[in-house]
Structure 1
Amino acid sequence: MNIATVILVYVIAWWMVFFCMLPIGIRSQSESNVQEVEGVDPGAPVNPNLKKKILITTVIALVLTVAYYFLATSELITFRTPRS
């Protein structure tokens, strides 16, 4: 397995986890009883906590990539036909 494959798996895992993390813990202006700002959508999040979500996403994607790497290199699961 070359380094390009590992990087690609990490990038794909990172974006998938990031998009799953985005709606977690979001409270809109109307839900949090904050004074609504003129011209802002009432469904816009008050505090999206992006730095925290990016850090958590990075750790989860790293764990998933390492698990994929060890699973792929250990030949525990293989899609190749056995030689006879």
Structure 2
Amino acid sequence: METVSIIAIYALFWVLSAFIILPFGVKNNKELGVDDIPGQADGAPGNFKPLKVIGMTTLLATVAFGLFYMNYINGWITLDTIDIFNSRERLR
């Protein structure tokens, strides 16, 4: 696998991980018992910690990409493994 491909696939894993991590631990101002700022949306987060989100996202993306890359090298799960309807054979 080329270096550019590795970087691109890792970036995809990172973005997907960010969407998985973002909702955890975030509370709005009403849940925290804090007054809203005028004009603030009701569901706006009151305790957003971007460095924590970035760290957890990077950790999850690194683990997921590591498993992906190890599968790429070792071939644990292939297209033939997950082709339960034998569609690859029908396309030939």
Q: Which amino acid aligns with 2:4?
A: A
Partner of 1:11: 11
CA–CA separation in structure 2 for the residues paired with 1:11 and 1:68: 13
Count residues in correspondence: 81
Partner of 2:2: 2
Which stretch of structure 1 is more off in the superposition, 9-18 or 67-76? 67-76
Matched, 1:71 2:78: no
CA–CA separation in structure 2 for the residues paired with 1:39 and 1:76: 53
CA–CA separation in structure 2 for the residues paired with 1:23 and 1:78: 32
Q: Which amino acid aligns with 1:11?
A: A
What secondary structure sits across from 2:40 in the alignment? coil
| Per-residue deviation, 1:34 | 0.5
Matches within 5 A, 1:2-41: 2-41=2-41
- More contact order relative to length (CA 8 Å, sep ≥ 6): 1
Partner of 1:57: 57
CA–CA separation in structure 2 for the residues paired with 1:26 and 1:58: 18
Give TM-score scaled by structure 2 length. 0.77
CA RMSD of aligned residues (A): 1.8
- The answer for unaligned runs of 5 or more in structure 1 is none
CA–CA separation in structure 1 for the residues paired with 2:76 and 2:42: 50
- The answer for unaligned runs of 5 or more in structure 2 is 81-92
Give TM-score scaled by structure 1 length. 0.83
What secondary structure sits across from 1:31 in the alignment? helix
